[in-house]
Structure 1
Amino acid sequence: MLTLHAAELLVAGPGRAALPGGAVLVEGDRIARVGPYEELGAAFAHARVRRWPGVLTPGLLVRGADELLERTYYPDHPSETAELGADPISGAEALADLRLTESRRGNSARRATQKLLARGVVAVAGRLTVPAVRTAVVRSGLTLLPPLPYGAPPSLDPLAGVAAAEEAFHGVLEAGAPARFAVFAASDARDLLARGSTGCVATVVAGRLLHRRR
């Protein structure tokens, strides 16, 4: 099935000119075409159309996944937040006090992956050693990459600490590439950096809409 994702502005990747009224045509788990919505809409009139406000970009990449997913605990709402609070818990001593089982670590990672998808993240980089955490990442649809260097402390917001939004993009939007991208409530890449990734409107991974802001 063909799906046409159209936005007010399309940013296909670093160094590529932004395209007002751009669109991405998805077939299965791949990008079939990228171009102006009017052109693609006319050529593929039978495609399902999803129109999004804001800017459509490649999905984002988070570094330091081992810190974020294995050495940070995300309390479950509401069963744990009354006692532990809603903020993520990190630090060897604090985590030791929780006496975490592998199952709880996996459930925490699952909650974290949902937070990442809600920020337009499509890939994480890091060395995961806890099987339940690794399983949570794989099942979420996120791509798991080998560790990559990072300067600023790891954050659920991949735009934190970068000089330009393009530094956080994972891949480019072009024909034949995996269909993984995100849409943000922003006017352009510079505005996206200023607002941060919490303005994510939608996240598509392998052609599937895994997050949509309600």
Structure 2
Amino acid sequence: MLTLHRARLVLPDPAAAPSITDGAVLVDGAVVAAVGPYAPVAGARVREWDGLLVPGLRNPAGHWLLEVAYHPDPREELGAEPLSADVPEEQRGPSARRGLQRMLGFGTTAVAGPFERAAVRTAVARSGLAALPGDGREGGLDPLAGGGRLAELVHRPLAVGGPADFAVFDAASVAELEERGAGRCLATVLGGRLLYRRR
């Protein structure tokens, strides 16, 4: 099935490619079929986004967020932010799944490990997010917090034939996105599937 994601601004590669005003990404199944200026495509479902479409982000604090921090269940009424707390091993898997789901709300499509706990490795593998090597640094759900630069946090550029992993943010430019942070995520697409959409 073809899906055409149209955005006010599309940035296929923050490190090199120019941005495309009124751009679009055509997705065929799980891969990018085309990137360029918007033009209708016969038979394609169209999703229109009022914002900046960029490749999915890499969260360098994945190890801390999934192996050390605890992501409370909403029924616990402890908030949605990760907590630094000792939890029983049987709660690690559910906590990691909640953490991965929350990361999607920040445009994350890849997380940095290492992931040593079996329950966390399983949760990451089932989530579809890419597991990458990392240094185990501490951090939060927003990869852009604390002055993160978009070009340094992109998992991989959007390219024809490559994975359809990207995010759309409520921002008019890269500078605005970096200033406001990834918490302004409107949608995250992973493997061509819309896995997060802000309500």
Q: 2:50 aligns with which of 44, 50, 53?
A: 53
Question: In terms of Rg, which structure is larger?
Answer: 1
Tell me the equivalent position of 2:112: 125
Distance 1:65 1:20 in 2: 33
The partner residue of 1:63 within 60, 64, 67 is 60
Unaligned 5+ runs, structure 2: none
Query: How is 1:77-88 mapped onto 2 (pairs within 5 angstroms)?
Result: 77-78=74-75, 80-81=76-77, 85-86=78-79, 87-88=81-82
5 Å-filtered alignment, 1:184-199, equals 184-199=169-184
Residue number in structure 1 paired with 2:99: 112
Instruction: In structure 1, list runs of 5 or more residues that go unmatched.
Output: none
Give the aligned partner of residue 16 of structure 1.
Answer: 17
1:182 partner amino acid: A
> Aligned match of 2:125 in 118, 124, 138?
138
Q: Pick the structure with more helix per residue.
A: 1
Kept in 2, the 8 Å contact 1:56–1:182? The answer is yes
Runs of 4+ with deviation above 3 angstroms: none
Aligned Cα root-mean-square deviation (Å) = 1.5
Contact 2:65 2:82 in 1 (8 A): no
Identical residues among aligned pairs (%): 48
**Shift of residue 131, structure 1, vs aligned partner:** 0.9
1:148 to partner: Cα distance: 5.0
1:50 and 1:201 map into 2 onto residues whose CA distance is 12
Taking a change above 3 Å as real, the CA distance of residues 67 and 163 of structure 1, as seen in their structure-2 partners, is closer
Match of 2:140 in 1: 155
Change (3 A) 1:77 1:149: closer
- The structure-2 alpha-carbon separation of the partners of 1:111 and 1:189, relative to structure 1 and needing over 3 Å to count, comes to same
- The one-character-per-residue Cα deviations of 1:101-144 (angstroms, maximum 9, x if unpaired) are 2x311100111011100110000011111111111112222111
Q: Give secondary structure in 1 for the equivalent of 2:120.
A: helix
C-alpha distance in structure 1 between counterparts of 2:82 and 2:92, whole Å: 13
Quickly say closer, same or farther: Cα 1:27–1:128, change in 2 above 3 A: same
Write out per-residue CA displacement over residues 43-89 of structure 1, whole angstroms, 9 at most, x where no aligned residue: x22111111110000000001321110100111112x23xxx32422
Partners of 1:10 and 1:22 within 8 A in 2? yes
Matches of 1:72 and 1:122 in 2, distance apart? 19
Figure out how many residues of one structure are paired with residues of the other and give that number.
197
Contact preservation (8 Å) 1:117, 1:210: yes
